[in-house]
Chain A
Amino acid sequence: MTGAAPLLRLEGLTKTFALRRSVGERVGRSQVEPTRAVDDFSFTLHHGEILGLAGESGSGKTTLARCIIRLIEPDAGTIELDGIDVRAARGRQLRELRRRMQMVFQDPYSSLNPRMTVGAALHEAGRVHHRPGSENGEQFVRDALERVHLSAGTAKRRPRELSGGQRQRVAVARALAVGPEVLIADEAVSALDVSVQAQLLNLFLDLRDELGVAILFVAHQLAVIAEVADRVAIMNRGRLIEIGDAADVFANPQDDYTKSLLAAHPRPRLSGAASS
């Protein structure tokens, strides 16, 4: 795995947001520091691996994820997919690059078009990119649903008829329908119940093992990352703090921030709980 050319390469990625200033602040000419949401961030993602990106809320991880597929335009740095410069791409080339790096969003309740049936959404994804098999709508949709262990009958339903876990599966199915090599899961399980979360985590592991998809798994809960990630990157205030094999980083954290993050991880106070 390591040694072969990386599938996705980020180098020095930076994104700064200028803060909105109120009229009063502008008039008073007070100095307002722009926020560096992503600060000189670099990493590589290899074929068939799951890289966890851990950070607390506000660390910039969602901004980073969106910069990779240019939902937000980065200010500086390099993004290369399979050697192709993502930042320079335009029009059709950009759309093709996006096809190869799909994103699954956090909120299952708003990541699917409420007016489209599941089948219509999946079929559209296939048709737009002329995926093999997309001419036969029914079969294509059936296959897409099977990949995420959903019944064929789900195709007729609308998102509001599905549970959170089912919606996320549909979101994953939609992402897979265009045939990506990279999946970016942006807090994709954070809004789900624990038992449903476990199902989705196993699904991501299946995708890595059976389809060879590389996954960038963004989350704020360390334990969730521990369950799926091969390697881990720790992020704080836009900067990369530490990166390495998951077992290594969690067992022997090098940086103080990583150590404090691990220490803050909730542990049950079992003996005499609260009342002593």
Chain B
Amino acid sequence: MSTIDLLEQQGVVPSRTRPGLRGLSRETKIGAGILAVLFLAGLLAPLIAPYGQNQLNFTDIYSAPSLSHVMGTDGAGRDVFSRTLYALRLDLGIVVLVTYPPLVIGVFAGAVAGYFGGIFDAVLARIVDVMIALPFLVLIIAVIAIVGPGIKGILIGVPLVAWALYARLSRSGMLVLREQPFILATVALGYTTRRTILRHAVPNLMRSSLIYSTLDMVVNLLLLSSLAYLGLGAQPPSAELGSIIADGQSALLTAWWVATLPGLVVVLFGIGALLLGDGLSDGRLKGTLPCASLPSRC
């Protein structure tokens, strides 16, 4: 917690002197910027890639980075930069698909369970516990074994488990939140339970899940890449970051750029996501679950 938060908690500095949302930290902005660039690059790949993702050219294999091939070429003469762009497109698209829909479902499930408690909550909590306890990679591979290799398996397998993490976050947040006076106030005001949960509770629960999702995206990207590396994910010749890196592995000592440069892109994504998550969790935590400055609380 920042100093100013501590000061406010202790009543030393009145809280109304704090700035509004414009006070986003530099960390947050840099992280968001990096991610924005990467997502845009992926989105616009067909427009900005200088070559096709599978444009073969056997006369120009393993050529070093140059003006015509910014990241060099691989063993089949394909432009690594273009492949990376298309790979970003595919990978980031999948990452978003397997991160955010589960987030939405998980947050709602957890919120409802946490609010009502009782048998519904007990059942959900046990399901969530089981899902989280399963060894993730093993489960994904099992799903792939059933539906066959390719991104289909990932699109099915990951959301199956991912929602549970968000449900757990949201549920524990709700257990605390439902005792907060402003939530009790919505009941006292005669609002419907639906309004209380959807309009008042969930927006305040979103924060921790959104912060966690930045980490989740990185994990999912790495998962994708690992699976492709193992030959279980996106199948060649689709450009996928993991498979590009895997292909370049054999030539690591001679044509280092094939594996390393796309690898750096993955690292860059990780840095951006973590900076964003960090920045969000640091600066604005005070805006959600307010810590009462009464002596008997906190």
Cα–Cα distance between A57 and B161 once the two chains are bound (Å): 46
B1 at the A interface (CB under 8 A): no
Task: Judge whether B190 is part of the interface by a CB distance below 8 angstroms.
Answer: yes
Counting contact residues on chain B (CB < 8 A from A), the size range is: 20 to 34
Residues of chain B touching chain A, judged by Cβ–Cβ distance below 8 Å, are 14-16, 18, 20, 180-182, 184-192, 195, 199-200, 203-204, 286-288, 290-294, 297
* A residues in contact with B290, CB < 8 Å: 109-110, 114, 160
Asked whether B287 lies within 8 Å of A163 as measured between CB atoms, the reply is no
In the bound complex, do residue A161 and residue B182 qualify as a contact, i.e. CB atoms below 8 Å apart?
Answer: no
Contact call B14/A163, Cβ cutoff below 8 A: yes
30 contacts between A and B (CB under 8 A): A71-B188, A95-B192, A98-B187, A98-B189, A102-B188, A103-B185, A103-B188, A105-B185, A106-B181, A107-B294, A109-B290, A109-B292, A109-B294, A110-B180, A110-B182, A110-B290, A111-B181, A112-B185, A113-B182, A113-B200, A115-B204, A124-B199, A128-B189, A128-B191, A129-B190, A160-B15, A160-B18, A163-B14, A178-B189, A191-B294
Within the complex, the shortest CB–CB distance from B188 to chain A, in Å, comes to 5
A107 to B184, CA, bound (A): 12
For the complex, give the distance between the alpha carbons of A96 and B294 in Å: 32
A158 touches B294 (CB 8 A): no
Known: A107-B292, A110-B290, A113-B204. A161 touches B189 (CB 8 A): no
Q: How far is the CA of A191 from the CA of B181 in the complex (A)?
A: 14
A249 within 8 Å of B (CB atoms): no
Q: Is A13 an interface residue (CB 8 A)?
A: no
Check if A46 is an interface residue, CB within 8 A of chain B.
Answer: no
Report the bound CA distance from A129 to B191 in whole Å.
8
- Nearest chain B CB to A158 CB, angstrom units: 7
Q: Would you call A115 and B191 a contact (CB within 8 A)?
A: no
Please give me the residue from chain A that is nearest to B15 by CB atom. Answer: A160
Chain A residues near B (Cβ < 8 Å) = 66, 69, 71, 94-99, 102-103, 105-107, 109-115, 124-125, 128-129, 158, 160-163, 171, 174-175, 178, 191
Q: Is the CB of B187 within 8 A of A128?
A: no
With a CB–CB cut-off of 8 A, which chain B residues contact A99? Answer: 189-190
A71 to B184, CA, bound (A): 7
Bound: A175/B297 CA distance, A: 24
Cα of A112 to Cα of B16 in the assembled complex, Å = 14
Max count, chain A CB within 10 A of own CB: residue among B16, B182, B187, B291: B182
Q: Are A102 and B16 in contact (CB under 8 A)?
A: no
Cβ-defined partner of B190 (8 Å) among A105, A109, A158, A178: A178
How far in angstroms is the closest Cβ of chain B from A160? 6
Cα(A163)–Cα(B181), bound, Å: 17
